[in-house]
Chains A and B, each alone.
Chain A
Amino acid sequence: MVREVSESCVDSLLTEMVACYCNRFYANKPELAARRIEAIGYQVGHQLSERYTMERPRFTDHLEAIKFICKDFWSELFKKQIDNLKTNHRGTFVLQDNKFRWLARMSVDPSTDNVGSVEDNNSPTAENKAAHAMSMHLYFPCGIIRGALSNLGIPCAVSADISNLPAWGNLTILIPFIRAKDLKIEPLFHVKNIEI
């Protein structure tokens, strides 16, 4: 019944999609490329949530839906559960994945960094480039999560943050709900851990 797809294919597809949008379609407008990639992810997440929630009871509140995203949805997509879930109990959720699968096998093309002098190899610009490339690859998974949540009745904004760059896999995802009144994102240091 369940159709499977090779993991390397998904990796290649993601890389190629990001490369296509960043270097070919919207080479001069990175913001537009990011928005397009996020929109594709939204559509995918919207459809996936329809499939994955097909045979489960309805969610009573937002926390239950978030827990579903952390456990079932995450393990369907990324083959593992989320490592840490935090909330400030005022609508902001922070999801932390210590080994994000879609970034685990990613490396930075060294040829683009070697244009300048050899000493510049470890300069901050090289690191910035790497971080920028990483963040472009994160718009798709962010879109997926936003699509899934909004289909479950939680309109929200999703942003991702990579810390610990050398490990390439340490991902924090921030989900502030958008309410009609306040668009403010709560400061992160008030967050508390909750049991998944």
Chain B
Amino acid sequence: MIVCVAVVGHQNNPLYIQSFTEADDALKLHHIVHCSLDVVDERVNNPKRSGPMLNETFLGLLYPIENYKVYGYLTNTKVKFILVTTDLDVKDADNLVLFGTIIKVGVTGNRKGGSGLLTRNGDEGKCKEGGP
């Protein structure tokens, strides 16, 4: 189950963060997301360690922590998408599809276009709720 999704801007400023748990552990999840930003930076600055995934936007598993696994995605414009999940064996392909959807919604507002989170200017062009 996905417990937390975060979109972080190019200056590590939070654009969107949402946890999907009943329990009152939002702060813990935010902390996990915060820590993952360092891992993203490390991956980008030490490309040798990431090996074959050089310049791939999907960063794969960033790090496992407690019962969670944290996955990351870094776009060309240095916007990070962080996913925290409780599933312990997830296929990368599934994650990629999921990230693709999140990014499409994040950039275009909905799956049919419009104005999204990353292309929003102030209060103009708010995210449209749901797709037509």
Contacts and interface: CB of A to CB of B under 8 A. Distances in A.
Interface SS of chain B: loop
A58 B119 contact: no
B118 A50 contact: yes
Contact of A50 (B56, B107, B111): B107
A168 B46 CA distance: 48
A59 to B, nearest CB: 6
A54 B55 contact: no
B14 interface: no
Interface in A47-63: 47, 49-51, 53-60
A151 B11 CA distance: 12
A56 B58 CA distance: 10
Given A3-B113, A49-B77, A152-B77, A54 B104 contact: yes
B75 A53 contact: yes
A115 interface: no
A153 B77 CA distance: 7
Contacts of B113: 1-3
A43 interface: yes
Contacts of B103: 54
Interface string B84-105: 0000000000000000100110
Contacts of A46: 119
Contacts of A59: 55, 76
Nearest to A56: B76
A58 B76 contact: yes
Interface string A151-189: 111000000000000000000000000000000000000
Contacts of B104: 54
Contacts of A152: 76-77
B78 interface: yes
Contacts of A3: 112-113
Nearest to A68: B76
A34 B119 CA distance: 23
Contacts of A58: 55-57, 74-76
7 contacts: A50-B79, A50-B118, A54-B104, A55-B100, A59-B76, A152-B76, A152-B77
